[in-house]
Amino acid sequence: AQSVSQHNHHVILSEAASLELGCNYSYGGTVNLFWYVQYPGQHLQLLLKYFSGDPLVKGIKGFEAEFIKSKFSFNLRKPSVQWSDTAEYFCAVRGRQAGTALIFGKGTTLSVSS
Amino acid sequence: GAVVSQHPSWVICKSGTSVKIECRSLDFQATTMFWYRQFPKQSLMLMATSNEGSKATYEQGVEKDKFLINHASLTLSTLTVTSAHPEDSSFYICRPVGNTEAFFGQGTRLTVV
């Protein structure tokens, strides 16, 4: 079955702490991977995506993610979080075929205290 | 860049009434539109895929007679929640298929009282 698993439901950090959010997926075939952020009261925003090539991808706002094919993982990282990073983070996967829907993980709530 | 407009952004309706949600792709043609639903503190769940000019395909457990989808043109897809009940209260989001996964509709917060 196709699925995305995000290990952390709620992460609480202090400003300047490092962040790593886990994401594992189960999907038959070649995939494209995504991380989205949803700030309170706002719609989804794309943070970064992996299609092919360098497995370490850099996104907006200082976020990066590493695709490890052997582990079916796509963990999100940020060296130093800010209070403004407080939000909900979703990992998503889809097949390479055109028109394939995104499958989302359940999300991780990140709370950053100043 | 591609712009997606979803309307209304929020709606409160009485139980038993119907609500129509529109999703427009403003500067590109979307032959396919995905409709998602997000319950509080949960992830987005795909409800259905609409294709311009043909019937929508629904995910398992989604009632096609309750959630009517129309995709009559390449720039407009609509989701109608018929005979809404409180358990249909949720956040509904559309996403047109294009060459990027960056663009979602703003979402519609539906509250059924």
Res B1: pLDDT: 53
A14 vs A100, residue with greater confidence: A14
| B30: amino acid identity, one letter | A
Q: Is B83 left (phi over 0), alpha (psi -120 to 50) or beta?
A: left
| Cβ pair A44:B101 closer than 8 A | no
Res B86: pLDDT: 95
> How close A79 comes to chain B (CA, Å)?
24
Rounded to whole angstroms, how far apart are CA atoms A36 and A44? 6
| Cβ pair A43:B46 closer than 8 A | no
Q: ∠ CA(A97), CA(B94), CA(B77), 5° rounding?
A: 95
Give the number of other CB atoms < 10 A from CB of residue B108. 23
Res A88: pLDDT: 93
Strands (E), A19-107: 19-21, 23-26, 31-38, 45-50, 56-58, 64-68, 73-78, 87-95, 103-104
| Cβ pair B93:A43 closer than 8 A | yes
A97 contacts: CB under 8 Å, gap ≥ 6? none
Q: Any CB–CB contact under 8 A between B32 and chain A? A: yes
Cis before residue B86, ω within 30 degrees of 0? Answer: no
Instruction: Give me the residue label for tokens 């139980």.
Output: B15
pLDDT in tens, chain B (113 residues): 557 889 999 999 999 999 999 999 887 788 889 999 998 878 889 999 998 888 899 999 999 999 999 998 888 999 999 999 999 999 999 998 865 677 888 899 999 99
Of the partner residues A43, A49, A99, the one whose CB lies closest to the CB of residue B107: A43
From the centroid of its chain, how far is CA A59? 10
B1 vs A8, residue with greater confidence: A8
> How close A96 comes to chain B (CA, Å)?
12
